[in-house]
Amino acid sequence: MLEPVGQLKSINNHAKRRVICLAMLALLAVPNSATAQDDGTQGAKQSFDRGQALYLEARFQKAADAFLKAYAAKSFPAFLFNAAVCYEKNKSYAEALKYYKKFLFTAPHSPDAKLVKKRIATIGRHLSPSPAQPGSASQPAIPKMPELPPIQTKGVVVVESSPEGAAIYLKDKKSGIFTRTPFIGSLPPGRHTIILELKEFKPVRKTIHVRRDVLSYLFFSLARQRNLGWIEVRGNIPNANIYLDKQSFGAVGRTPYSGYLRPGKRKLIIARPGYKPFETDITVVAGKTHMVAYTLKRVQHGWLKVTGKTTRGAKVLVDGKRFACSDYPCRGKIDVGVHKVKIAREGYKNYETTVDVGVAHEVQVAVKLNPTPSRLSAYITFGVAAAVLGGGIAAGVIANSTESELQDLAGAGGIYESDDDRLLKGKVAAISANALYALSGVLTVLGVYYLLRDDGPPSYGESRDRKIAITPFLGPQAAGVSGMVRF
């Protein structure tokens, strides 16, 4: 009785082993999506690199084939763009038109959409021959292909992450979110620092060197983050600067903002020109999400800014009162309304103007102060006039002395001859005194003219009114929503 039972158990165990093996084989037969995706990307990269190499060798037909092979492996619109460029270079305009249209269909919001539309229109006109004239046996005329702006193939950057939807920042977070993963597009050639952040996952940073002739592929497998707190900041005014603890530390990013912070108490400051700053205290807890909603209110004053190299050290007067501002450039708050502004600096001609300041507006006054003319000519003239006057006084003293001497002689009963030297001396002295007095007067008047005259151009300037505040709006970044950005 026991033997059949043992045989049955042996059969059952054998059957179980077969089932397990078949199950394992079935699992191995199922393709891994991540591996398939990597294989597709790798194949696309190889074909893309080959296409760029052929393009540089001016083998445009083969380059186009390589780019289309890359597109078959991975449907990145940039490959269609490059294929169309190759066909255009090869003067295969019908094929170029086909793939330009296909690129525009797959990437209607591409930065190159305007350029591509223009090329489609130009190539389309070229491929549409002009109708033959009535009664003419000649064939329709094919117009000459017009000159098009230079164009070349583009490099491609692919950034993917697991999980998807991570925020991508370029260089740092101060300029806000560039886009979210997956990203398929182009970046200017050169070095770029890419930062990825996603809630509940550790941020990553990588520096890459972008080239026109290669496909740069980045994949990030994000790891869980449990030691930091996550903060999300949203409000009514986007693109406001985010400061932590003190504004003097510099902005860490712009709204809408999200990211990790160390646990502890922090002061959050949100500021944007034209609005009153918003401040709040938060306590960051590791592994927790902190939502901060802010409302920025528009200021009820304006700003006056005085610029110009010659205004350094000058006094700025508004309605006759000293304007409170920094040394250079002079910028400060000013009440709304019309104001008289005067800029004065020692050794320079004053500049005066009238400004009309609106709410949350900055009026910038760019000024060039011209130097006041030199008074040296006036001082020299006054000196000469004083010397001449002194000479006139001396001559007058001689004339008076001679006249008194002759009068004393006549009063004593003395007689002097008409040809007496003293008589001639007195007359010459008197005439000289009067002439010197007159010359001194003329020189004095000339000195006053030199003192008061205003040589050279006056100081001048121009005003520019700039609205600082913006109207609140809703957009992808303001709402914190972003999708795939394509080439």
Question: pLDDT by residue (tens digit) across 390-405?
Answer: 888 988 888 788 777 7
Residue 135 clears pLDDT 70, i.e. is over it: no
Q: Tell me the helices (H) and strands (E) count for the chain, helix number first.
A: 8, 22
**Tell me, what's the pLDDT at 328?**
79
**Tell me, what's the pLDDT at 342?**
93
Query: Residue 112 contacts by C-beta under 8 Å, 6 or more apart in sequence?
Result: 81, 487
Give yes or no for a contact between 348 and 370, defined as CB atoms under 8 angstroms apart: yes
Least confident among 49-63, 123-137, 181-195, 257-271? 123-137
Residue 123 clears pLDDT 80, i.e. is over it: yes
Mean pLDDT of the chain: 79
CA distance 483 to 461: 48
Q: Report residue 146 CA to chain centroid gap.
A: 36
pLDDT band for position 130 (50/70/90)?
low
pLDDT band for position 6 (50/70/90)?
very low
Look up tokens 């500021």; give the residue: 271
Look up tokens 């059949």; give the residue: 4
CA distance 429 to 145: 101
Pairing of strands 204-210, 190-197: antiparallel
Residue 65 clears pLDDT 90, i.e. is over it: yes
Residue 43 clears pLDDT 60, i.e. is over it: yes
Q: Which residue has the higher pLDDT, 326 or 448?
A: 448
Most confident of 19-33, 80-94, 207-221, 408-422: 80-94
Cis before 131? omega within 30: no
pLDDT band for position 449 (50/70/90)?
confident
pLDDT band for position 145 (50/70/90)?
confident
Report CA-CA distances (Å) from 459 to 304, 331, 349.
19, 20, 6
Report CA-CA distances (Å) from 29 to 16, 22, 33, 40, 73.
20, 10, 12, 18, 21
- Which residues share a beta bridge with 24? none
In the β-sheet with 289-294, what is the strand arrangement from edge to edge? 257-261, 229-235, 289-294
Query: Residue 15 contacts by C-beta under 8 Å, 6 or more apart in sequence?
Result: none
Query: Residue 320 contacts by C-beta under 8 Å, 6 or more apart in sequence?
Result: 340, 342
Residue 256 clears pLDDT 60, i.e. is over it: yes
